Structure formats: C-alpha cells, structure tokens
C-alpha cells in the first residue's frame, strides 16, 4: 500500500497516525498500542453503564456503543479504538436465535448440523445493522485522529459456535462436520464468509480505519486441515474488503503452526499470541506483513517490574520487524487492574519514542 492509496473519507491525521503507519510498515514516532478487549469488564465505568442491560442489547444502542468504545481510549491513551460489539452480532442481526450468557459466552438455540439448518443463515444487508453505521458515525466524530478498528469473527470461529451451540473446548461437533461432510462444511463456511464480508464492509463504509478478523479458535486445527477446510473462506473475506485499502488484521489463539497461513489468507497484519516470540513469528509469517502482539494477558497480574521485563523482551524481539503494533496475546482478562494497562501503554510509548 502506498500513501497514494489513502481511502477516501479518512482524515489525513488518522491515516498518518502511528497505528496506521505501523500497519503499513512505515516508520513510526513510537510503537502503537491497543488491547484486545480493552473495552469491557476490567473498567468500572464499563460495568456502570452496562448495569441492567444485556450484552447483545448494549451492542444495538449507538450512544452506548460509542461511550463504551471511547472509555479505554480516554483512560489508557491507546493508539486505536476497537468498535464495541461481539462476533455474534451479525448472526443475531440476520435472525439466528442466540444469546450471550454472562460468564459463558454465545449460546445458539438451534445448532447447525444439517443442510436444512443452513437456512438460518440469510444474507446480511446494511439495514440489518443500521445501529452499527450510526454508532461509527458518532465515534469517528469523537475520536479525532485516533483510528477505529472494526472487526468480525472469522468463518471457522463463527461456525464453531453455530455447530457446537455454544463455547467448546474440543470442537467435536465442528470437526465431525468438517471431516464427515466436507461439502456441507464448505457451504457453511462460504455462507459465513459472505455474511462476515458484508458486515466488515458496513463498518469500513461507515468510517472504520482498519479491520480485524478474529479466528480465535482456529488454533485447534492442523495446518493441512486449515489450508483445505478454512483458508478458502477466510481468503474470501479478505479479498472482499481488499479494494478499500484499509489494513486487514488477522488473529487467532494458539496459532503458532498457522502463522504463515494466516498471513497467506490475505492479512496485512498478523496477530500473534504469547507462545511464539515475535522474531520467530516474523520468520514464520515471512516478509511484507506487520505483526501485532504479544504480551500474555496473565502477566498483568504480576508486579510492575515483571510486566516491564516481559514487555521489554517483546520490544527487543520486535526491534527488527517491518511493522509492530503492541498488543496482548489475547483479550484483557476481566479482573485485570486497569491501571496496569495505562502504565503498560505509557511504558511502550516511552521506551519506543523515536
Ligand atoms: C471468541 C469471541 C467472542 N467475542 C469476541 C471474540 C473474539 C475475541 C477473542 O478471542 O476473545 C470478540 C469481542 N467481544 C467483545 C469485543 C469488544 C471489543 C474489545 O475488544 O474491546 C470483542 C472484540 C465484547 C464482549 N463480548 C462478551 C463480553 C462480556 C459480556 C459482558 O461484559 O457482560 C464482552 C465485553 C461476551 C463474550 N463473547 C464471546 C465470549 C467468549 C464472551 C465472554 C463470555 C464471558 O466471559 O462472559 C465470543
């Protein structure tokens, strides 16, 4: 991507921010920082505004979405905001009967296990998620030059919730379908790719500066199975939004053996969990991609000195990278001390100031 390719509508200051530059592998004034799940239960101000409002309902109220998205930006001085929502929101929007149960996660009323069940998945139109367009309009006005990251769940991770009916440790029903009926599996993933692509387009057209595709649970697969049964659908999503010219980030947990393929699927930035050091991750991903990561979120429960030691190791491993966005290796854990996140942001900014 060259600077001539600036997507129309995006303010110059946003386009030139540290986060956007790092995504494009350009020189940065400091290493940009944001945290997966930076909005949420670690913040008392979040718990206050969410009181009595179910999770999915809160995702459909534009003013509330904008407020929750802004909270970590105000508090931590992070370099990007992530749109407050959940990966199952587009599925809910097309009428899939599901809910997010507190402390559990997404639960689907009628799991998808047969061809007839696919009928639950109709196309997503911008009108289905008008509240997303409205909330992003509020946010871009308030964010100024801070970029907004839109996101969606990747086809495999969405399929895992839809086929299992809820969170799963072993993904047994998902794998049973994937290996037992490859044709139906491919159709399911292709439907989800269409829905996901449509949902990301809504966010980009409303003003999101970058997008992240969360394939959180794809680390459960071996590389050959990923390449055969998942990569075509993820590639389709990335291809569908390529022409917008916004950075595309791809992330999953436990994906050490898949890092090269996650990049190959079409990402500009590959997210790395804490199990692979960033210099080794760069070798696995190959040239031409930025990396995002990768402090173990549990380290934040340790002393400030330990957090700084582990963070400095990451910054040292990232020193030779083409582009680095500092993040955790997975989402902020709900009982994290928010001050630890503020201190961590400050530490990375100070240590990498150029
Ligand atoms: C797998 C996944 C889900 N949702 C998401 C993923 C991919 C990211 C990842 O791997 O963590 C994505 C997601 N969900 C949420 C965000 C908010 C944006 C941000 O990162 O700040 C994002 C990016 C809000 C949320 N999504 C959810 C919450 C908690 C609900 C609450 O606050 O009441 C939040 C803030 C619910 C949810 N939704 C899901 C889970 C596992 C849970 C947690 C269940 C629980 O512990 O209660 C599914």
In ligand 1, the atom with minimum distance to the C-alpha of 103 is: 47
What local confidence, expressed as pLDDT, does residue 131 receive?
98
pLDDT 10s digits, 286-310: 999 999 999 999 999 999 999 999 9
Report strand pairing: 105-108 vs 98-101.
antiparallel
DSSP bridge pairs for 81: 148
Q: How many angstroms separate the alpha carbon of residue 37 from the centre of ligand 1?
A: 7
Q: How many angstroms separate the alpha carbon of residue 184 from the centre of ligand 1?
A: 28
What is d(CA 196, CA 233) in angstroms, rounded to the nearest whole number?
Answer: 10
In ligand 1, the atom with minimum distance to the C-alpha of 212 is: 23
Please tell me whether 190 is known to bind a ligand: no
Please tell me whether 137 is known to bind a ligand: no
Please tell me whether 40 is known to bind a ligand: yes
Q: Which residues are catalytic?
A: 37, 41, 50, 86, 161
Please tell me whether 173 is known to bind a ligand: no
Is 41 near ligand 1, meaning CB less than 6 Å away? Answer: yes
CA distances from 10 to 18, 33, 137, 148, 320 (A): 15, 20, 12, 11, 30
Write down the ipTM of this complex: 0.92
CB of 304 within 8 A of CB of 37?
A: no
pLDDT 10s digits, 221-273: 999 999 999 999 999 999 999 999 999 999 999 999 999 999 999 999 999 99
Q: How many angstroms separate the alpha carbon of residue 126 from the centre of ligand 1?
A: 22
Please list the ranges in the chain whose pLDDT falls under 50. Answer: 1-4
Q: Comparing C-alpha atoms, which of 269, 274, 353, 283 is closest to residue 311?
A: 274
Please tell me whether 273 is known to bind a ligand: no
Which bin fits 335, alpha (ψ -120 to 50), beta or left (φ > 0)? alpha
pLDDT 10s digits, 8-18: 678 999 999 99
Report strand pairing: 148-153 vs 210-214.
parallel
Is 278 near ligand 1, meaning CB less than 6 Å away? Answer: no
Cα radius of gyration rounded to whole Å, the chain: 19
Is 34 near ligand 1, meaning CB less than 6 Å away? Answer: no
What is d(CA 271, CA 323) in angstroms, rounded to the nearest whole number?
Answer: 12
Q: How many angstroms separate the alpha carbon of residue 92 from the centre of ligand 1?
A: 15
What is d(CA 333, CA 91) in angstroms, rounded to the nearest whole number?
Answer: 25
What local confidence, expressed as pLDDT, does residue 133 receive?
98
Which residue, by CA, sits nearest to atom 43 of ligand 1?
105
Is 150 near ligand 1, meaning CB less than 6 Å away? Answer: no
In ligand 1, the atom with minimum distance to the C-alpha of 334 is: 46
- Go through the domains of the chain in sequence order and give each one's CATH number: 3-352 (3.20.20.210)
Is 102 near ligand 1, meaning CB less than 6 Å away? Answer: yes
What local confidence, expressed as pLDDT, does residue 9 receive?
75
What is d(CA 153, CA 157) in angstroms, rounded to the nearest whole number?
Answer: 6
Which residue, by CA, sits nearest to atom 26 of ligand 1?
86
- The angle formed by the CA atoms of residues 346, 349 and 353, to the nearest 5 degrees, is 145
Q: How many CA atoms lie within 13 A of 299 on its CB side?
A: 24
Per-residue H/E/C for the chain: CCHHHCCCCCCHHHHCCHHHHHHCCCCCCCCCECCCCCCCCCCHHHHHHHCCCCHHHHCCCHHHHHHHHHHHHHHHCCCCEECCCCCCHHHHHCCCCEEEECCCEEEECCCCCCCHHHHHCCCCCHHHHHHHHHHHHHHHHHHCCCCEEEEEECHHHHHHHHHHCCCCCCCHHHHHHHHHCHHHHHHHHHHHHHHHHHHHHHHHHHCCCEEEEECCCHHHCCHHHHHHHCHHHHHHHHHHHHCCCCCEEEECCCCHHHHHHHHHCCCCEEECCCCCCHHHHHHHHCCCCEEEEEECHHHHHCCHHHHHHHHHHHHHHCCCCCCEEEEECCCCCCCCCHHHHHHHHHHHHHHHCC
What is d(CA 326, CA 35) in angstroms, rounded to the nearest whole number?
Answer: 8
Q: Greatest CA separation found in the chain?
A: 58
């Amino acid at each position: 991507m060259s600077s001539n390719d600036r997507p129309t509508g995006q303010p110059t200051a946003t386009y030139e921010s540290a986060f956007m530059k790092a995504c494009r592998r350009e020189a940065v004034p400091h290493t940009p920082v944001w945290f997966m799940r930076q909005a949420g239960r670690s913040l008392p101000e979040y718990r206050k505004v969410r009181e009595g409002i179910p999770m999915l309902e809160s995702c459909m109220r534009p003013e509330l979405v904008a407020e929750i998205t802004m909270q970590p930006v105000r508090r931590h001085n992070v370099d990007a905001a992530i749109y407050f929502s959940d990966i199952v929101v587009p599925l809910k929007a097309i009428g899939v009967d599901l809910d997010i149960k507190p402390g559990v996660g997404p639960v689907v009323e009628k799991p998808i296990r047969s061809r007839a069940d696919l009928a639950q998945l109709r196309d997503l139109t911008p009108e289905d998620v008008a509240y997303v367009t409205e909330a992003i309009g509020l946010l871009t006005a308030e964010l100024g030059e801070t970029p907004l990251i839109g996101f969606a769940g990747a086809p495999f991770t969405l399929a895992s919730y839809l086929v299992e009916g809820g969170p799963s440790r072993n993904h047994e029903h998902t794998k049973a379908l994937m290996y037992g009926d490859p044709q139906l599996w491919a159709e399911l993933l292709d439907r989800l790719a269409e829905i996901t692509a449509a949902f990301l387009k809504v966010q980009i057209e409303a003003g999101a500066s970058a997008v992240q595709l969360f394939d959180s649970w794809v680390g459960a697969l071996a590389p050959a199975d990923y390449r055969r049964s998942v990569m075509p659908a993820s590639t389709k999503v990335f291809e569908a939004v390529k022409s917008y010219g916004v950075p595309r980030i791809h992330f999953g947990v436990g994906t050490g053996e898949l890092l090269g393929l996650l990049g190959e699927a079409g990402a500009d930035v590959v997210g790395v969990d804490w199990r692979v050091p960033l210099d080794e991750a760069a070798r696995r991903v190959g040239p031409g991609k930025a990396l995002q990561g990768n402090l173990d979120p549990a380290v934040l429960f340790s002393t400030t000195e330990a957090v700084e030691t582990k963070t400095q190791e990451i910054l040292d491993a990232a020193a030779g990278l083409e582009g680095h966005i500092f993040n955790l290796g997975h989402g902020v854990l709900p009982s994290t001390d928010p001050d630890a996140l503020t201190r961590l942001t400050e530490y990375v900014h100070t240590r990498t100031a150029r």
